[in-house]
Structure 1
Amino acid sequence: MNRTVTNRLLPAAVMLGLLLAWELGVRWAGIPDYTLPAPSRIAQALAEHGASLVGSWWYTLKITFGALALACAGGVLIASAFALSPTLERALFPLAVVLQVTPLMAVAPLMLIYLDSTTAALLLCAWLSAFFPILSNTVIGLRAADPQLRDLFRLYRATPWQRLALLRVPSALPYFIAGLKVSGGLALIGAVSAEMVAGAAGRETGLASRILEASFRTETPKMFAALTLLVLTGVMIFAVFNAVSRAVLGRWHASESGRTD
Structure 2
Amino acid sequence: MTPRDHRRAMTKHFESLTGAYRMWTVFEAWAECTAIAIANAVTLPAHPIHAEREARYLNLIKPDPARAEVFPKILAHLVDALTLERHDALGSLFHEHELASADRGQFFTPYEVSKFMAGMIFGDGAALRELVDRQGFVTMSEPACGAGGMIIAAADAMLEADLNPQAQLHVTAIDVDSTAAHMAFIQLSLLGIPAIVFVGNTLSMVMRERFLTPAHVLGGWEWKLRHRDTERETALPAAPHQAEAPRLPAGDAQLHLFEAFA
- Compute the TM-score of the two structures, normalised by the length of structure 2: 0.22
Q: Which has the larger radius of gyration?
A: 1
Greater share of helix residues, 1 or 2? 1
